[in-house]
């Protein structure tokens, strides 16, 4: 049991640390907000569904990614780049307020980027740019719509902005509502369970879009930050 003096010191320590936690929570909330907005187009998911997912990610499940329901690209399937063909950060992205860049391996030239993109298109399990790819997307993603209260959504819930939906967005909304109805009537047509990381050998997968042949990336990155 704490003495009165110990209790007071513990309370003071908590108050001193509280702003740090509050700032961290605000930053997390803002990052989730930005991510959920990006996912409207990247993964064809309403803002609210994405935000709720991000706020309650289960560490045992494969996280939504461009290769979902797989945990990434298979390492054995990717193109290899030599050290002189990639950079350690994306020059199109600004550094932080201390002039530091986020480690993000990026091909140096556009031709290489395009070659990797075309190669990787054929590795992904779904594709929102084709009718056949959308059908595959429906199979893997429809379960996210099952419990969403779409009839209560406003424009912010749909797209993360308060402006009234335009014609193209209205089509998206109708598509999502129809998909939810079909999933609830015919769940056997779709994947119903979140894929588990334990079902995969994670060493065989990567979130990178190519394999960087390297001597020592950490050393190179440290030198580039000096």
Q: Which of 80-89, 129-138, 184-193, 210-219 has the lowest mean pLDDT?
A: 210-219
Tokens 């350690």 appear where? 88
Helix axes 4-42, 47-55, angle to 10 degrees: 140
Closest-CA residue to 150 (of 174, 168, 171, 182): 174
Q: Which of 5-9, 74-78, 91-95, 190-194 has the lowest mean pLDDT?
A: 5-9
For residue 216, being part of any structural domain is answered with yes
For residue 108, being part of any structural domain is answered with yes
**Which of 101 and 47 is assigned the larger pLDDT?**
47
- pLDDT-above-90 percentage for the chain: 69
Which pLDDT does position 136 carry in this prediction? 98
Region 15-29: mean pLDDT is 65
Which pLDDT does position 21 carry in this prediction? 54
For residue 11, being part of any structural domain is answered with no
Which pLDDT does position 5 carry in this prediction? 64
The number of domains in the chain is 1
Query: What's the gap between Cα 91 and its chain centre?
Result: 21
For residue 39, being part of any structural domain is answered with no
CA distance 73 to 193: 21
For residue 22, being part of any structural domain is answered with no
Which pLDDT does position 45 carry in this prediction? 98
In the predicted structure, residue 47 carries a pLDDT above the cut 80: yes
In the predicted structure, residue 9 carries a pLDDT above the cut 90: no
For residue 4, being part of any structural domain is answered with no
Q: How confident is the model at residue 12 (pLDDT cuts 50, 70, 90)?
A: low
For residue 15, being part of any structural domain is answered with no
Q: How confident is the model at residue 22 (pLDDT cuts 50, 70, 90)?
A: low
In the predicted structure, residue 37 carries a pLDDT above the cut 80: yes
Write out the two tokens for 218: 């950490």
Q: Name the residue range of residue 67's domain.
A: 61-224
Name the average pLDDT for the chain.
Answer: 86
For residue 18, being part of any structural domain is answered with no
Coil, strand or helix at 82: coil
Give the β-pairing of 106-107 and 86-87: antiparallel
Tokens 């996280």 appear where? 63
In tens, the pLDDT along 64-108 reads 999 999 999 999 999 999 999 998 877 777 777 667 777 788 899
């Amino acid at each position: 049991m704490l003495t009165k003096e110990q209790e007071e010191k513990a309370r003071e320590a908590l108050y001193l640390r509280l702003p740090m936690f509050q700032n961290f929570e605000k930053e997390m909330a803002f990052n989730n907000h930005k991510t959920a907005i990006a996912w409207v187009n990247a993964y064809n998911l309403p803002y609210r569904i994405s935000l709720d997912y991000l706020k309650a990610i289960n560490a045992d499940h494969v996280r939504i990614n461009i290769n979902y329901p797989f945990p990434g690209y298979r390492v054995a399937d990717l193109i290899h780049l030599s050290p002189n063909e990639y950079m350690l950060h994306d020059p199109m992205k600004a550094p932080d307020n201390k002039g530091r860049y986020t480690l993000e391996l990026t091909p140096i030239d556009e031709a290489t980027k395009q070659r990797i993109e075309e190669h990787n298109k054929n590795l992904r399990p779904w594709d929102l740019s084709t009718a056949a790819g959308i059908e595959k997307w429906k199979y893997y993603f429809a379960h996210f719509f099952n419990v969403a209260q779409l009839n209560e959504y406003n424009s912010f819930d749909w797209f993360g902005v308060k402006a009234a939906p335009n014609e193209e967005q209205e089509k998206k909304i109708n598509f999502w509502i129809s998909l939810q109805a079909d999933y609830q009537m015919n769940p056997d047509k779709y994947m119903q369970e979140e894929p588990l990381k334990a079902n995969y050998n994670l060493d065989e997968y990567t979130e990178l879009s190519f394999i960087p042949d390297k001597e020592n990336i950490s050393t190179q990155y440290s030198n580039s930050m000096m």
